[in-house]
Amino acid sequence: MPRPGRAREPMPRKRDRGTTVPIEPEAGTEPLPIVAKGLTKRYGEVVAVDHLDLEIEPGEIFGLLGQNGAGKTTTILMLLGLTEPTSGWARVAGFDPARRPLQVKRRVGYLPDAVGFYGAMTGRQNLRYTARLNGLSRDDAEADIEAALGQVGMAARANDRVETYSRGMLQRLGIADALLKDPTVLILDEPTTAIDPLGVVEILELLRRLAHERRMAILLSSHLLSQVQSVCDRVGIFAAGRLIGVGTVEDLATRFGESEDLVEVGLELGRTTDRQAAAAPLVRLLGELADVRSVRPLDGMDGAVIVHAAPGAGAGVRAAILGLAASGTLPLTSVRQVVPSLDDIYRRALEVRGLAGHGEVAA
């Protein structure tokens, strides 16, 4: 359903190498930073991207999640105007990348999975080179370079040669490079691959700040599920060229999560040597609660159990457990709802869509 106040125009059509391709409405009628409708890319008989519909809001970090070869990079290339769609259309920063790629490139910062800089030059010199390519005056460039280096935390190493930089430093310099054109959209393809854990945390925190402070729309492509889960406002699950699920992690958990609510319960079993025997009456007590289907020990955690409850009954079960603890009936040490990880959601989504063989991604 169209959003209120958003102008819609009829979509004329043109012939492109024998294929009828919709052309998007004229620039200025669509306020969203990224929009794609029916975006499709074929290479002969291979469908790399299959009728992609996508909208990304200002200030939103959107994670495009899928294994290598799922179609993520092809999608990015179409959004940047580096390859033409077979059918469908996209608008990026208000322009059709297939017809106006230069207008898109002026407004979009792009960080590929392999960042290329001149190793013998310093970080600052590389940025000056980029500024000249973007047509910035010398005075404006110096101020913008200084601001970008400070924003990505690279001011202290800006005068060192790039060949001495770590992978994480290269990625941060790449983001500074993308920021020089003051983009409204930032697109990153696998930005945290091969970066140490501390560097990953720094990159993701930087992206949060950019989205919040600049109201910048950020499209983040990745196969690293835990990293996507930690930073993205919404996630799109991509498999075999198709976007099979879009939403917050909580939305996707509801849609593709387990058919039960899971509650983790920690129990105080005392100093007894037969801990299994000590836990048995407590497990039976938990199993008798309303809406509880089963209770099982939690592997590797002494005194912890997982309570399997009916869908939607988790909150009521937690309240009942707290009631038992308050009455002194249950020696409780902890209780919490177990939220499915994005890894669980991803694999479940592939199963539901019949694409289980396409889900080998790094957790």
CATH of the domain at 49: 3.40.50.300
Contact 176, 146 (CB under 8 A): no
Q: Return d(Cα 32, Cα 55) in angstroms, integer.
A: 7
Q: How far apart are CA 150 and CA 144, in angstroms?
A: 10
- Residue with tokens 């005056």, as numbered in its chain: 137
Provide the residue range defining the domain that includes 271. 258-337
pLDDT at 31: 65
CATH of the domain at 300: 3.30.70.100
Chain centre distance of CA 353: 20
Q: Is the domain of 175 the same as that of 296?
A: no
- Conformational region of residue 300, where left means phi above 0, alpha means psi within -120 to 50, and beta covers everything else: left
Q: For the chain, where are the E strands, in sequence order?
A: 13-16, 19-22, 34-43, 46-56, 61-65, 87-92, 108-111, 185-189, 217-222, 234-239, 242-247, 261-267, 292-297, 304-309, 332-337
Q: How far, in Å, CA of 254 to CA of 243, rounded?
A: 17
What pLDDT is recorded for position 5? 40
> Which of 246, 249, 348 is CA-nearest to residue 36?
246
Alpha helices (H) along 108-179:
123-133, 138-152, 167-179
Return the sign of the alpha-carbon dihedral for residues 289, 290, 296, 300: negative
Answer yes or no: do 265 and 235 share one domain. Answer: no
Q: Are residues 199 and 291 in the same domain?
A: no
Q: Are 200 and 231 in the same domain?
A: yes
Same domain, 193 and 292: no
> Which among 328, 242, 188, 213 is positioned nearest to 49, based on CA atoms?
242
Indicate the residue among 212, 227, 255 that finishes a domain.
Answer: 255
The whole-number pLDDT of residue 357 equals: 57
Domain count, the chain: 2
Asked if residue 22 belongs to a domain, the reply is: no
Instruction: Give the position of tokens 């790449």.
Output: 174
Q: pTM higher than 0.75 for the full model?
A: no
Give CA–CA dist 198/114, Å, rounded. Answer: 19
Q: Using CA atoms, how far apart are residues 7 and 27, in angstroms rounded to an integer?
A: 11
Task: Please indicate, yes or no, whether residues 104 and 178 belong to a single structural domain of this protein.
Answer: yes
Residue 204 shares a structural domain with residue 286:
no
332 shares a domain with 232:
no
- In this structure, is residue 73 part of a structural domain? yes
Spatial contact of 186 and 62, defined as CB atoms under 8 Å apart: no
Residues 245 and 308 reside in one and the same domain:
no
Closest by CA position to 145, among listed 101, 176, 167: 176
Rounded distance between C-alpha atoms, residue 272 and residue 18, angstroms: 78
The answer to the question of residue 19 being in a domain is no
Residue 362 φ/ψ region, left for φ over 0, alpha for ψ in the -120 to 50 degree band, beta for the rest: beta
Phi-psi label, residue 94: left if phi above 0, alpha if psi -120 to 50, beta otherwise: left
Report how far residue 346's alpha carbon sits from residue 343's, in angstroms, rounded to the nearest whole number: 5
Let me know if residue 51 belongs to a domain.
yes
The residue among 255, 276, 309 that closes a domain is: 255
pLDDT digits (tens), the chain, 363 positions: 444 443 333 333 333 443 434 444 444 444 699 999 999 999 999 999 999 999 999 999 999 988 888 899 999 999 999 999 999 999 999 999 999 999 999 899 999 887 789 999 999 999 999 999 888 888 889 999 999 999 888 999 999 999 999 888 998 999 999 999 889 999 999 888 777 887 888 888 889 988 998 899 999 998 877 777 788 999 999 988 999 999 988 788 778 866 678 899 999 988 777 878 888 999 999 999 999 999 988 865 678 999 999 988 989 999 999 999 999 999 999 999 887 777 778 888 888 777 765 544 433
CA distance 234 to 221: 12
Are the CB atoms for 89 and 16 separated by under 8 Å? no
Residues 183 and 247 in one domain: yes
What's the rounded Cα separation, in Å, for the pair 55 and 61? 12
Residue 148 lies in a domain: no
